[in-house]
């Protein structure tokens, strides 16, 4: 067989000895058969291809038949990132429960199913090259086979590592503290109305910050949503010491002491 595309394998099925893989470009002798023969293709090139297949029967009078087919591509997965990240070419995906992700690739349909092990997740694409989905907060940690599936079949596969961690706070600092100041600005007294950056792990897309018994809305960091949150100290709180914690679908964090001082 001669293939002038990126198709790397043709499977000839229903042979006497079962399914046989025939590498592209290789002439392979098969067992005698009668009836029909089924050719199965998997096109993961990201584009429509037009391979030619020549079937050759060698007997008393050799005969051959060349067939050209139009082969639609299946979805192609090149990598996975958090939103607003460029793809770095990694062949595995590191995922965090409760976060949103973007799959980079080609030939995505508007609606796809992302499979992480045996868990199927609905995903949406608006341009055919990026596929958005949210990883459920119930997803267990571990390494899984990762691929996309639709009416055309399955994409190529990657390895996904799901990192599951209950929320944990390491420290807090004023949101406007520069990187050089940060070590000396950790867990210092803060003021009402001040914007705070909370650093830890196990944060999701929906977190609640607790200052004592007062719940405060938070915003995830755009680049590191699993590690950093932002919130503002309410003006209604009195001066004093409070237990600072975070809760989300993964559980409740440890507590730090937040000291609220007067201006």
Q: What angle do CA 223, 250, 160 make, to 5 degrees?
A: 60
Question: Can you give the pLDDT at residue 16?
Answer: 42
Per residue in 164-187, pLDDT tens? 989 999 999 999 887 656 778 899
* Fold: same for 76-162 and 168-260: yes
Cβ–Cβ under 8 Å, residues 123 and 133: yes
Using 70 as the pLDDT threshold, list the residues of the chain that sit under it: 1-51, 57-59, 89-91, 179-181
Residue 105 CA to residue 76 CA, distance in Å, equals 5
Q: How far is 16 from 169, CA to CA, in rounded Å?
A: 63
pLDDT of residue 262: 83
Question: Domain 168-260's class?
Answer: mainly beta
**Residue pair 123/112 in contact by the 8 Å Cβ criterion:** yes
- Which residue in 105, 92, 3, 2 sits closest to 44, CA to CA? 105
What phi-psi label fits residue 152: left (phi over 0), alpha (psi between -120 and 50 degrees) or beta? Answer: alpha
Place of tokens 């079937």: 55
Please tell me the predicted confidence (pLDDT) of residue 115. 97
In a 3-state reduction of DSSP, which class is residue 217?
strand
Residue 186, classified by CB atoms within 10 Å of its CB into exposed (0-12), middle (13-18) or buried (19+), is middle
**Domain 76-162, CATH homologous superfamily name and number:** Immunoglobulins (2.60.40.10)
Calpha distance 133→81 (Å, rounded): 11
Q: Answer yes or no: are the C-beta atoms of 8 and 24 closer than 8 Å.
A: yes
Count of other CB atoms within 10 angstroms of residue 86: 8
What is the rounded CA–CA span in Å between residue 131 and residue 152?
16
Residue 45 is predicted with a pLDDT of 64
The residue extents of the domains of the chain are 9-68, 76-162, 168-260
In 3D, which of 19, 45, 15 has the Cα closest to residue 33?
Answer: 15
């Amino acid at each position: 067989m001669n293939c002038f595309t990126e198709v790397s394998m043709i499977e000839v099925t229903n042979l006497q000895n079962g399914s046989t893989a025939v590498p592209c470009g290789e002439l392979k002798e098969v067992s005698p058969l009668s009836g029909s023969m089924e050719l199965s293709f998997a096109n993961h090139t990201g584009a429509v291809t037009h391979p030619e297949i020549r079937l050759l029967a060698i007997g008393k009078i050799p005969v051959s038949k060349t067939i050209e087919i139009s082969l639609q591509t299946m979805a192609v997965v090149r990598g996975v990132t958090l939103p607003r990240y460029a793809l770095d070419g990694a062949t595995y995906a590191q995922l965090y429960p409760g976060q949103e992700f973007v799959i980079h690739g080609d030939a995505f349909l508007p609606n796809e199913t992302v499979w992480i092990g045996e868990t199927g997740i609905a995903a949406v694409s608006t341009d055919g090259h990026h596929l958005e989905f949210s990883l459920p907060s119930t997803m267990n940690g571990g390494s899984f086979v990762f691929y996309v599936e639709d009416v055309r079949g399955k994409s190529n596969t990657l390895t996904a590592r799901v990192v599951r961690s209950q929320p944990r706070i390491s420290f807090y600092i004023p949101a406007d503290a520069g990187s050089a100041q940060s070590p000396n600005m950790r867990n210092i007294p803060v003021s009402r109305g001040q914007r705070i950056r909370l650093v830890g792990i196990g944060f999701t897309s929906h977190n609640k910050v607790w200052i004592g018994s007062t719940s405060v809305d938070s915003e995830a960091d755009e680049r590191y949503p699993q590690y950093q949150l932002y919130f503002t100290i309410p003006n209604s709180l009195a001066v004093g010491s409070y237990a600072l914690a975070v809760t989300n679908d993964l559980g409740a964090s440890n507590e730090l002491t937040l000291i609220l001082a007067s201006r």
